[in-house]
Structure 1
Amino acid sequence: MYKVKVYVTLKESVLDPQGTAVQKSLHALSYEEVSEVRIGKYMELTISKDEGDLEKRIEEMCEKLLANTVIENYRYEVEEVVSL
């Protein structure tokens, strides 16, 4: 069994209005040291078995559904989970 942690973030060239709103709210709460906020997504997938090339399958999932590769970047970490 595998646990896959997927991180999706907007590309640097894409404006992040949600991040800007959070930054302004932090400034309103006197956290002026925050110079930029970028909002992203985090997902955990549990994969029961390796159906061939696991890395390739994860990349397909990210590119077909989990990330919009036109405006987002993604990265992932794979961790093998040992059942007791």
Structure 2
Amino acid sequence: MTYEAVVRVTLKGGVLDPEAKTIQRSLNRLGFGVENLRTADEYVVEIDAVDENEAREQAEEMCERLLANPTIHDYTVEVRET
């Protein structure tokens, strides 16, 4: 079966996010009252797997091996059948 995994990678709390700070300052200059902003990367991956659990395991391994640096990143994985 084919599954779609949506992986969201964010910086852990306490890790500096200069891109987010720049965007936040710009939004505030435009009149938006933004107090906290964090950047995130989102990946959508189609995975061939026997079941949803296997697809989730594959997506999590992708995160551990390439998509995220466990030292500075947190990630979430959502899997659904396509």
Deviations for 1:55-74, whole angstroms, at most 9, x for unmatched residues? Answer: 32221111000111110000
User: 5+ unaligned residues in a row in structure 1: which ranges?
Assistant: none
Q: Which segments of 5 or more consecutive residues in structure 2 lack a partner in the other structure? A: none
Determine what percentage of the aligned residue pairs are the same residue: 39
| Counterpart residue identity of residue 80, structure 1 | E
1:44 has 2:5 as partner: no
Query: Which residue of 2 is the match for residue 59 of structure 1?
Result: 60
TM-score normalised according to structure 2 size: 0.88
In 1, distance between residues paired with 2:43 and 2:76?
Answer: 11
- Look up the SS of the partner of 2:16 in the other structure: coil
Provide, for residues 29-83 of structure 1, a one-character-per-residue CA deviation record: whole Å limited to 9, x for no partner: 011x2101100100100113338833322211110001111100001100001xx
Higher helix proportion (structure 1 or 2): 2
Aligned pair count reads: 80
TM-score normalized with structure 1 length: 0.86
Following the alignment from structure 1 to structure 2, what is the Cα–Cα distance between the partners of residues 4 and 54? 8
| Structure 1 segments of 4+ aligned residues over 4 angstroms from their partners | none
Deviation at 1:13, TM superposition (A): 1.4
